[in-house]
Amino acid sequence: MKAIAEAPSKAIITGEHFVVHGAWALAAALPRRVRVEVVESAHPTVVSNRMPSTGTLGRPILGVVESMAKEFSFSPNLSVSVISDVPEGAGLGSSASTMVATASAVARFHSLDLQPPDIFRYSMVGEKEVHGRPSGVDAAACTFGGVVLFKPGSTPRAISLKGQRSLIVAFSGRKRRTKHQIRRVAEVKDTLPSFFGSLTEAASEVSLMAAEKLAGGEMRSLGRMMSFNHAVLSTIGVSNRPLDRLVDLALSLGAYGAKLTGAGGGGSIVAVAPGRKEKSIVSGLTERGFEAFRADIPVKGVKSWLDR
């Protein structure tokens, strides 16, 4: 018997980094997915199409399995196979998607009647090992799907969209380490606590307003907020010249707004644009050597099933 789960990737539209310190962030699940297959094994193992079993996610994946095994009193001797369509280190939630899919597949394998909040909680065991101090916004988007407003300690708020929306995502080609970027922002907070506190409050307000604009289809206004958010993230040191140039390129090609998404220091940008220009913007980014795609949202969250 095999249990299978698939979880979407994600993009943070506004509020990354500040969400770690208590601000609201707005995130959307993306159609690129991670698939996890679980079968019984003589001992715990992890294999992946993107990493060796000793790779950066191997130990955290086993941590998720072990935490669930301990709580529900079953053997952790499972083989976990990861098939990912999400590039690692790109700011698109590859680790969160993997941890969410792992928790969901293990729950399905052992016939555990777990709800999305439970899957989220177990996925965070692995996320904490990967990132040190994650906010949970990535795992929330990958678990619940759709578009969510997330704040640590609060119930995620689902944002209802009337009709489909589209995001443009482009990978800079430079991987980054989220844990390092989180530490860098924490140093800014320690050095300039009052200034950082004011920025955190402002970032939270921007996320709430951005959710309203996205829900209402006011994409031009949303784009302006995103570009402003990028400038703030650059101010606290998590952007860099390649990301700034990629944002500028997206804007020059006709996007309403663009910003880094995720930890920064590399990774990807996310942009919104007029529907008539989306195809040409993606083509323009691709022609210049960037991996770019249009992502239609909303996208459903994690799902799992048995293959007998």
Active centre residues (catalytic): 138
272 neighbors 226 (Cβ within 8 angstroms): yes
20 neighbors 56 (Cβ within 8 angstroms): no
137 neighbors 95 (Cβ within 8 angstroms): no
147 neighbors 25 (Cβ within 8 angstroms): no
139 neighbors 294 (Cβ within 8 angstroms): no
Query: Measured between alpha carbons, how far is 185 from 176 in angstroms, rounded to an integer?
Result: 14
Dihedral, CA of residue 21, residue 26, residue 29 and residue 30, to nearest 10: -110
Q: Which two tokens stand for residue 103?
A: 């928790």
Q: Between the CA of residue 103 and those of 59, 138, 146, what are the distances in Å?
A: 14, 15, 19
Counting Cα atoms < 13 Å in the Cβ hemisphere of 118 gives: 14
Query: Measured between alpha carbons, how far is 110 from 263 in angstroms, rounded to an integer?
Result: 34
Q: Between the CA of residue 230 and those of 15, 209, 247, what are the distances in Å?
A: 10, 16, 9
Q: Between the CA of residue 78 and those of 74, 82, 167, 258, 269, what are the distances in Å?
A: 10, 13, 37, 42, 36
